[in-house]
Amino acid sequence: MTRGDERERARLRNLKKQKEQNKGKCKDPTSVKKRQESDAEIMRQKQAAALERKEVEAKAAAAAAMAAKAKK
């Protein structure tokens, strides 16, 4: 049973490895909530832009249909 400080060294290496893996991960609930809110707002903006684009395309298609009827 002459392991010396091998166990302690392994423990320290493991701690260092875990710190590197968790680097950048924030467990603060307020920052998670803020992130969720900002992501939701971005998605709302994207949805609004997509709806606006669809409306413009629908109007253009209706105008093209009217123009085609007028030519006949």
The rounded Cα 42 to chain-centroid distance in angstroms is 9
Tally of domains within the chain = 1
pLDDT of residue 26: 66
pLDDT tens per residue, range 12-52: 999 999 988 887 776 677 888 898 999 999 999 999 999 99
Alpha carbons 48 and 36: distance in angstroms, whole number: 18
Which tokens is 3 given?
């392991």
CA distance 41 to 46: 9
Q: Which domain covers residue 58, as residue numbers?
A: 4-71
For tokens 């467990």, name the residue: 27
Which of 15, 31, 32 shows the shortest CA–CA distance to 23?
Answer: 15
